[in-house]
Structure 1
Amino acid sequence: MSSDAADGETETTATDPVEHVSGTGIAVRGDDIDTDQILPARFLKVLTFEGLGEFAFFDQRFEEVETDHGTEEVETDHPFNDPEHRRASVLVVNSNFGCGSSREHAPQALQRWGIDAVVGESFAEIFAGNCLALGVPTVTMDGEAIEALQSFVEANPDADVAVDVAAETVAYDGRRVEADVDDTQHHALVNGQWDTTAQLAAVPERIAETANSLPYLDAS
């Protein structure tokens, strides 16, 4: 797909547009949940992002308990351990979610666990940018609306939540709530321009042309 750019050139769409995301919801409550809580630092040693999903919220999901047989990791009541929410794809959070370090592994872990969209009161800017690079919308609503949505998904783990990125709404339980998507994110997702690496790979001729024009690169 392509669209006409403002300067008259053709702007390449290298990735699929993300206009709608729907699925069951899961609520993780609390303000200022940082990237170390989302994915503890010891899991950053991997060479690829494969398998990171199982470590999402690991230190909140498991605690070490001394037993007669030594130390064992025991599951907590964290929502990501709840089998009723295991197929959830819409994560509902509170304010300043994803603060702390800039590690891209955090949204990678969430996506590989199964999260396709995050709805919250607010997000750390770098975290939202890292989500955008994966095609995962970070959509905001006010605190009262978030509280209502969290309570709903906790009580109704099988109910669908529909995130309309294009129209900037979140629909569930017969209601449609106004939401907000950052303008830059909205444009990139709706127009399929969120994966910058794929965008570059789609125009190798232009990359070569630019490289050949740079005096500090050896064209040979």
Structure 2
Amino acid sequence: MQPIEIISGTAIAMDGDDIDTDRIIPARHLKALTFDALGTFVFEGDRKNAEAAGAVHPFDAPEHAGASVLVAGENFGCGSSREHAPQALYRWGIRAIAAVSFGEIFRGNSATIGLPCVLLTPEAAAQARAVIAADPTAEVTVDLATKQLRTAGRSWPVEINESLRQRFVSGGWDSLSTLAEGTAAAADLSRRLPYLNGWRAA
């Protein structure tokens, strides 16, 4: 299993609160058989609306190409429980999200795929977004070991559920790998269970 302790890269600053999962990935893309192409459609409606208004959505801005950290406001990922929302962000390239608060189901779905969601105070989130907007090329680091967000010589404390943090830094976030590690033990146990072996003596 791959531990996730430090995530670094350029960042996208998204203003606004209550950005819901319907906006992150429109419902018409939920019919996809795999998550592989979802990154192409992340914020599709918002991006088209921005283009129609003569603006550029943050996920279309050339200076944000390749960004791996997203900094947002309150209640990010609220709305429906669709797991496609964190998958779309992850497939686009986002590897950590810092926000004032999250939709609980979104945060859980993110943890399942190795996408940490950390909390900033409203003041810290506003300050971090301002720094990112001023210099989109600045490296931003989400440090789960020290529980900090760092960029441009500044740092802010972040919060994350301790159980989730331990899962990330230990590599235990990957439940499929955890299950796979127990394959031999499960096979051995099945050989010793009477009801799986005609009730013969173990």
TM-score (norm 1): 0.83
Question: Partners in 2 of 1:195 and 1:22 — Cα distance?
Answer: 20
Paired residues of 1:75 and 1:81 also in contact (CA < 8 A):
no
Tell me the secondary structure at the aligned position of residue 81 of structure 1. Answer: coil
Tell me the secondary structure at the aligned position of residue 59 of structure 2. Answer: helix
RMSD over aligned Cα atoms:
2.1
Tell me the secondary structure at the aligned position of residue 79 of structure 1. Answer: coil
Paired residues of 1:168 and 1:179 also in contact (CA < 8 A):
yes
- Correspondence for 1:158: 137
Question: Partners in 2 of 1:43 and 1:117 — Cα distance?
Answer: 23
The one-letter code of the counterpart of 2:86 is P
Find the partner of 2:37 among 27, 35, 51.
51
Please show how residues 91-130 of structure 1 align to structure 2 within 5 Å: 91-130=70-109
- Correspondence for 2:46: 60
> In the TM superposition, what is the alpha-carbon distance from 1:63 to its structure 2 partner?
3.5
- Correspondence for 2:160: 181
Cα distance, 1:45–1:214 mapped onto 2, change above 3 Å: farther
Greater strand share, structure number:
1
Paired residues of 1:62 and 1:75 also in contact (CA < 8 A):
no
Q: Which runs of 4+ in 1 moved over 6 A?
A: none
Question: Partners in 1 of 2:12 and 2:197 — Cα distance?
Answer: 52
Cα distance, 1:214–1:181 mapped onto 2, change above 3 Å: farther
Paired residues of 1:120 and 1:140 also in contact (CA < 8 A):
yes
The one-letter code of the counterpart of 1:113 is W
The one-letter code of the counterpart of 1:33 is I
The one-letter code of the counterpart of 1:81 is D
Cα distance, 1:50–1:203 mapped onto 2, change above 3 Å: same
Question: Partners in 2 of 1:167 and 1:75 — Cα distance?
Answer: 41
Question: Partners in 1 of 2:50 and 2:57 — Cα distance?
Answer: 15
Question: Partners in 1 of 2:85 and 2:36 — Cα distance?
Answer: 13
Residue 132 of structure 1 pairs with residue 74 of structure 2:
no
TM-score (norm 2): 0.90
> In the TM superposition, what is the alpha-carbon distance from 1:130 to its structure 2 partner?
1.0
Question: Partners in 1 of 2:108 and 2:197 — Cα distance?
Answer: 34
Please show how residues 1-220 of structure 1 align to structure 2 within 5 Å: 15-63=1-49, 76-209=55-188, 213=193, 215=195
Cα distance, 1:211–1:32 mapped onto 2, change above 3 Å: farther
Question: Partners in 2 of 1:194 and 1:57 — Cα distance?
Answer: 26
Gap regions ≥5 residues in structure 2: none
> In the TM superposition, what is the alpha-carbon distance from 1:209 to its structure 2 partner?
4.6
The C-alpha deviation readout for 1:93-123, integer Å capped at 9, x for no partner, is 1111111111111111101111010000011
The C-alpha deviation readout for 1:149-205, integer Å capped at 9, x for no partner, is 111111111000111011101111112211111111101001110011111012102
